[in-house]
Chains A and B, each alone.
Chain A
Amino acid sequence: MNAALETHGLAKRFGGIVATNDVTFRLERGARQALIGPNGAGKTTFVNLLTGVLTPSTGRVVLAGEDITRLRPEARVRRGLVRTFQINQLFGDLTPLETIALAVDERLGLGRDWRRRVGAVDAVSAEVEQVAERFGLLDVLDRRTDTLPYGKQRLLEIAAAFACAPQVLLLDEPAAGVPEAERRDILDAIAALPADVSVLLIEHDMDLVFSFARRISVLVDGGLLVEGEPEAIAADSRVRAVYLGERIDG
């Protein structure tokens, strides 16, 4: 069976700088995998290559067996590769209701419909409500996004991506900057994602990584250093060296 998402020899060079170096990577269906690495390891570039914001210098990106290397970002979203952002990328003066409705409309191919008002299709408002309920946003649906508590904004960040019906969901530091009191809601929402959605978590927070991931990939200097189960990664001397600054001999 095809993996949910694969890369083959993926590389990105900016002039003389190699930001992503020959990454061959595999995300199984239903995976709960984490991508970790120190600052500057190239995680952001890698995600941008996966989602189509950047075009790779060489290599391929394959989603469920289909080569998507040359597809535009929105075409990848329609095929089920969806991401969230480390820094909220929301629509400040729109409401969560509008944000989720937008994603649902686009997924159902209604985004070009100019004749009917938003929500005229019952299936849309029903699904908006389901997504809002899943992420605990029902009570703030009609408020401006930029007036919401930060934790709610982070939930909306994930809810909007979820409304695109992802096959593969890339979560970029979902709990970054969230106050302790609201953190639980986000962890619960992530834990409750449907099992058939393959999740790649890009994260700094090791507590979250080790509580969530069943497999971990470590990215260093643009290349994959090691991959494996959490226990193996925690015990790996090279990973410890990278994170703790220890020297590796030999």
Chain B
Amino acid sequence: MTRGQTIAAQGLARRARWRAPEIVFWVLAFAALLLPPGKHLLLNEVAILALFALSLDLILGYAGIISLGHAAFFGAGAYAAGLFCKLVTPDPLAGLVVGIAAGALLGLLTSFLVLRGSDLTRLMVTLGVALVLHEVANALPQWTGGADGLQGMVVGPLLGRFDFDLYGRTAYAYSLATLFVLFLLARCIVNSPFGLSLMAIRRNSLRASALGVPVNRRLVAVYTLAAAYAGAAGALLAQTTAYVSLEVLEFQRSADVLLALIIGGAGWLYGGLAGAIVFKILQDTLASNAPQFWMFWMGLFLVVLALVGRERLSGGMRGLLARVARR
């Protein structure tokens, strides 16, 4: 083996290596299960938002597809899981699979709408799809419960053994485990040749295609994948709260997940996770201190973050961490 082969092979191996902070992060996340009751409901929300933001990161941070309507897939997963629970079986894992499938199917069908056009076109198209779905859900109260929400879900015990308790510990364990498994899959995918081709498409789709990358097919695939992830997040919310309301499809949800991802930094897998933690903690703290003004503080925080962070969209927490590390 020549020295050169060593360089290329080692360099490529280094891309996918696990780093110590990653392991610490996950150990802490699972250790939080041992906390005394009280914070698990919030942690469950964090895990669900983290999964949702991870989903958005796959299309925005990796493939460069900006979306203002990602709640469409979240909502599809939530309603699918909710209806499945009421009509078929209360088993949560089966419902999760159904939620994922619903998100993926909707993602596949709408992916063709985002293939062409500029960022602005994509913003409008994704926003439009989510608005349409919201109205459809509103107009079908016999299925969705309309504005009253989908009520009467009785979610069965997880794995047939662990009941969902009032304190949310089972819920957090369930959401965190789902997040972890899907994170591992996402990590595998972004480090693969498929993931590398997405990164190339985001940076320069003209050149990616000139190097033989079938751009449209890759975009359809990742959009479907991300929609499946969002569907999983929606299903988790439906099952752990035993309720689905029209809020799952609201514009606010699409905006929040975009904010969370940008706070954490798009284009690295921990961006959505870190962003979700910061977003939820801020929301929780600010809302308990000044409920009517929390969005004011959130807005101020965003402005400061945008001014301090060097790379606007892709910087986020990663940029800040790097700056702190250099000091």
- With an 8 A cutoff between CB atoms, is B130 at the interface? no
- With an 8 A cutoff between CB atoms, is A51 at the interface? yes
- With an 8 A cutoff between CB atoms, is A23 at the interface? no
**CB-defined contacts of B211 to chain A, threshold 8 Å:** 77, 82, 102-103, 106, 160-161, 163-164
* Size bracket, chain B contacts: 35 or more
**CB-defined contacts of B4 to chain A, threshold 8 Å:** 129-130, 132-133, 138
Q: Which of B132-140, B195-203, B240-248, B270-278 contacts A (4 or more CB under 8 A)?
A: B195-203
Partner of A125, one of B9, B197, B214: B9
Q: Mark B166-203, 1 if CB is under 8 A from A, else 0.
A: 00000000000000000000001101111111011001
Interface of chain A residues 98 through 122 with chain B (CB within 8 A): 98-99, 101-103, 105-107, 110-119, 122
- With an 8 A cutoff between CB atoms, is A83 at the interface? yes
- With an 8 A cutoff between CB atoms, is B206 at the interface? yes
In the bound complex, do residue A91 and residue B207 qualify as a contact, i.e. CB atoms below 8 Å apart? yes
In the bound complex, do residue B193 and residue A102 qualify as a contact, i.e. CB atoms below 8 Å apart? yes
**CB-defined contacts of A72 to chain B, threshold 8 Å:** 209, 214
Partner of A74, one of B5, B199, B204, B214: B214
In the bound complex, do residue A82 and residue B8 qualify as a contact, i.e. CB atoms below 8 Å apart? no
Q: Which of B11-19, B70-78, B250-258 contacts A (4 or more CB under 8 A)?
A: B11-19
Question: With A92-B203, A129-B5, A138-B7 known to touch, is A114 a contact of B194 (CB < 8 Å)?
Answer: yes
In the bound complex, do residue B193 and residue A113 qualify as a contact, i.e. CB atoms below 8 Å apart? yes
In the bound complex, do residue A114 and residue B8 qualify as a contact, i.e. CB atoms below 8 Å apart? no
In the bound complex, do residue B212 and residue A77 qualify as a contact, i.e. CB atoms below 8 Å apart? yes
In the bound complex, do residue B195 and residue A119 qualify as a contact, i.e. CB atoms below 8 Å apart? no
* Size bracket, chain A contacts: 35 or more
Q: Mark A59-90, 1 if CB is under 8 A from B, else 0.
A: 00000000000001111011000110100011
**CB-defined contacts of B8 to chain A, threshold 8 Å:** 97, 101, 119, 125-126, 128-129, 132, 141
Nearest A residue to B5, CB-CB = A129
In the bound complex, do residue B207 and residue A85 qualify as a contact, i.e. CB atoms below 8 Å apart? yes
Complex: A101 Cα to B192 Cα, angstroms: 11
- With an 8 A cutoff between CB atoms, is A95 at the interface? yes
Q: Mark A131-151, 1 if CB is under 8 A from B, else 0.
A: 011000010011000000000
In the bound complex, do residue B212 and residue A103 qualify as a contact, i.e. CB atoms below 8 Å apart? yes
B residues within 8 Å of A by Cβ? 2, 4-5, 7-9, 11-13, 15-16, 188-189, 191-197, 199-200, 203-204, 206-215, 218, 221
A residues within 8 Å of B by Cβ? 51, 53, 72-75, 77-78, 82-83, 85, 89-95, 97-99, 101-103, 105-107, 110-119, 122, 124-126, 128-130, 132-133, 138, 141-142, 160-161, 163-164
Q: A90-B207, A102-B193, A118-B193 are in contact. List 14 more A-B contacts (CB 8 A).
A: A77-B210, A85-B207, A89-B210, A91-B200, A91-B204, A101-B196, A102-B196, A102-B213, A110-B193, A114-B192, A117-B13, A128-B12, A132-B4, A164-B211
Can you pick out 15 interface pairs between chain A and chain B where the beta carbons lie within 8 Å of each other? A74-B215, A82-B210, A91-B199, A91-B207, A94-B199, A94-B200, A102-B213, A112-B221, A114-B188, A114-B195, A117-B192, A129-B7, A132-B4, A160-B207, A163-B211
